[in-house]
Amino acid sequence: MSNIQIDSSKAVSFLSENTIASLEPRVKAAQKALEEGTCPGNDFLGWMHLASETSPELLADIKETANVLRENCDTIVVAGIGGSYLGARAIIEALSNSFQWLINDGKNPVILFAGNNISEDYLSELTLFLKNRKFGVINISKSGTTTETALAFRLLRKQCEEQRGIETARKVIVAITDAKKGAARTTADKEGYKSFIIPDNVGGRFSVLTPVGLLPIACAGFDIEALVKGAADMERACAPSVPFNENPAEQYAATRFALYQAGKKIEILANYQPKLHFMNEWWKQLYGESEGKDGKGIFPAAVDLTTDLHSMGQWIQEGERTVFETVISVENPNANVLFPHDEENLDGLNFLEGKHVDEVNKMAELGTRLAHVDGGVPNLRIVMEKLDEYTIGQLIYFFERGCGISGLLLEVNPFNQPGVEAYKKNMFALLGKPGYENETAAIKARI
Ligand code: PA5
């Protein structure tokens, strides 16, 4: 069953008749190549059936590890960057009370994220915050050598050992990394940390349904079985055997590709729930890293609405007409707040009295949609029933599958990221890393 619907009526109206239908053979060919493993990057297709093939033993192991961390920690720091970070954060924030990290209810540990920047201030402030806290660490790095994460982990491990003692530190530090190689693996094996493996055939940005995402999400107290079930159900809903017109991932991929061909080079992902901010960030990495290569690719941008209507709204309404918008619309809120009465009514808003805040939000969404369409911005709408583990699992897989198909329509390898190395090479050369002597001389000559 799919709790996610896609409405492309206000996007296809910008395209010539039959444009989407004419893409069906190409979309089905992309699906076949994904399914049969004949596409570029076919050594990284492990994500496709992860959800339906996740073993109960792995889920039980993750839950048991999460319980050890929850029982022994008031704070858990998740160290990781890019694909080793964004999925967990996106899902935890989407499911959490917006003020969760300020609530000291004793039920759930505070989940913090580190290893995703090289800011001295951030790391210093984190160290200070963790002082006197019973904290644990989940160190996530597929390569095990990423600078941002390795730096944070050095600091966190030292502080954890000093504050909690070596034995306890060994219990509350968990590694999620490669089976054999990299610093994170070597340290985990040497110290006897509990560890999980990131499968070789799953790239970072497609890894949220492995322990990379599932362990932090379980630590935050959420139901990872429901999440995986949602993803597995969406896997079935997006299978190549599902007719083109009924297949959400195929419809999404075909529509955005047609819009790209019609000159819409930027996709703005919009949400109307602040909790989805990091879902936008996760999506940006998924699509940006998968498609932006060989001089091609839709630029993935994102806004939080209605917040950003007061900053970016002008540009979207009247800026260069190279954008289209994809809105994630959550049908039912989890809470219940009515617009209040005010005796003086100075703001003139008493006409809204007694209405659900969500009804006002929905009218803002509809009004914005129509205004943007009038302004020349094609609009796709992804409607999800509610924010719960099952539906979010569906959303995650929907975007992953849509991304695989989209990349193949663009004729790029959606599963590599050669461009990510360029900054690292320059940074290491500038910092004088051994082995980079030639690059150091060359880069210094350019400054
Ligand atoms: O999607 C990717 O492959 C990247 O974003 C990586 O996830 C990111 O660079 C982190 O790499 P690692 O897990 O090796 O530390």
What is the residue-wise DSSP string for 351-414? GGTTSBHHHHHHHHHHHHHHHHHHTT--EEEEEES-SSHHHHHHHHHHHHHHHHHHHHHTTS-T
Quickly state the pLDDT bin for 1 (edges 50, 70, 90): low
Residue 144: the pLDDT is 85
Please indicate whether residue 424 is annotated as part of the active site: yes
Beta carbon of 149 within 6 Å of any ligand 1 atom: yes
- Could you identify the atom of ligand 1 that is nearest to the CA of residue 143? 14
pTM of the model: 0.96
Return the structure tokens found at 396. Answer: 């995650």
Lookup: tokens for 127: 């160290």
User: Is the pLDDT assigned to residue 160 strictly greater than 70?
Assistant: yes
- CA dist., res. 282 & res. 206, Å (int): 10
Backbone angles phi, psi at 38, to 5 degrees: -110, 10
Question: Distance between CA atoms of 313 and 374, rounded to whole angstroms?
Answer: 14
pLDDT of 442: 87
pLDDT at 124 over 80: yes
**Banded pLDDT at 214 (limits 50, 70, 90):** very high
Report residue 341 as tokens: 């009465």
Name which residue leads in pLDDT, 283 or 1.
283
pLDDT at 24: 98
Given ligand 1 and candidates 78, 84, 196, 415, which is best to mutate, with the most ligand atoms within 8 Å of its CB?
84
Q: Which atom of ligand 1 is nearest the CA belonging to 203?
A: 3
207 lines ligand 1 (CB under 6 A): no
In order of 24, 221, 348, 419, 420, the CA distances from 291 in angstroms are: 20, 34, 47, 11, 13
Which carries the bigger pLDDT value, residue 443 or residue 322?
A: 322
| 300 CA → ligand 1 middle, Å | 18
- Tens digits of residue pLDDT in 314-344: 999 999 999 999 999 999 998 899 999 999 9
Angle between helices 248-261 and 24-36 (to 10 degrees): 120
Give the residue, by CA position, lying nearest to ligand 1 atom 2. 204
Cα 372 to its chain centre, rounded Å, is: 26
Would you say the CB of residue 141 lies under 6 angstroms from ligand 1? yes
**What integer pLDDT is reported at residue 3 of this predicted model?**
83
Question: pLDDT tens, 63-82?
Answer: 999 999 999 999 999 999 99
Classify 266 as helix, strand or coil.
strand
Q: What spacing in Å lies between the alpha carbon of 109 and ligand 1's midpoint?
A: 26
CA–CA separation, 348 and 352 (whole Å) = 9
Q: Which atom of ligand 1 is nearest to the CA of 182?
A: 14
**Best residue for ligand 1 mutational test, from 146, 202, 403 (most atoms within 8 Å of Cβ):** 146
273 in Cβ contact with 330 (< 8 Å): yes
Q: What average pLDDT does the segment 394-415 reach? A: 98
Domain 5-38+230-416 and domain 50-222 have a common topology:
yes
* Mode of pairing for the β-strands spanning 266-271 and 194-197: unpaired
Residue 151 CA, ligand 1 centroid: distance in Å: 15
**Is the CB of residue 281 less than 8 Å from the CB of residue 427?**
no
Rg for the chain, CA atoms, rounded: 23
**Sheet strand arrangement including 4-7:** 4-7, 379-384, 323-330, 266-271, 299-304
Q: Is the pLDDT of residue 107 over 90?
A: no
Looking at the predicted structure, is the pLDDT value of residue 281 above 80?
yes
Q: Taking residues 237-246, what's their average pLDDT?
A: 97
- pLDDT-above-90 percentage for the chain: 92
Q: Could you tell me the distance, in angstroms and rounded to a whole number, from the CA of residue 224 to the centre of ligand 1? A: 22
Tokens of 44: 């990284």
* 438: Cβ contacts below 8 Å, ≥ 6 apart: none
Percentages of the chain per state (helix, strand, coil), in multiples of 5: 55, 15, 30
Whether the per-residue pLDDT at 102 is higher than 90: the answer is no
Q: Whose CA is nearest to atom 3 of ligand 1?
A: 204
pLDDT at 54: 97
End-to-end CA distance of the chain: 57
* Active-site residue, selected from the candidate residues 235, 267, 281, 289: 289
Q: Is the pLDDT reported for residue 103 higher than 80?
A: no
CATH class of 5-38+230-416: alpha beta
Res. 241: pLDDT tops 90: yes
Q: What is the CATH architecture assignment of 50-222?
A: 3-Layer(aba) Sandwich (3.40)
**Dist. CA 204 → ligand 1 center (Å):** 5
DSSP-based three-state secondary structure for 174? strand
Q: Across all residues in the chain, what is the average pLDDT?
A: 96
If you average pLDDT over residues 172-196, what whole number do you get?
96
| Cis peptide preceding 127, ω within 30 of 0 | no
The closest residue, in CA terms, to atom 8 on ligand 1 is: 82
Q: How far apart are CA 369 and CA 404, in angstroms?
A: 27
What is the pLDDT at residue 2?
81
Taking only the tens place, the pLDDT of each residue in 290-320 is 999 999 999 999 999 999 999 999 999 999 9
The secondary element (H helix, E strand) that includes residue 258 is helix 248-261
- Nearest-5° angle of CA 39, CA 40, CA 41? 110
Q: Which atom of ligand 1 is nearest to the CA of 205?
A: 1
Cα gap 189→180, rounded to integer Å = 10
Domain-by-domain residue ranges, the chain? 5-38+230-416, 50-222, 420-447
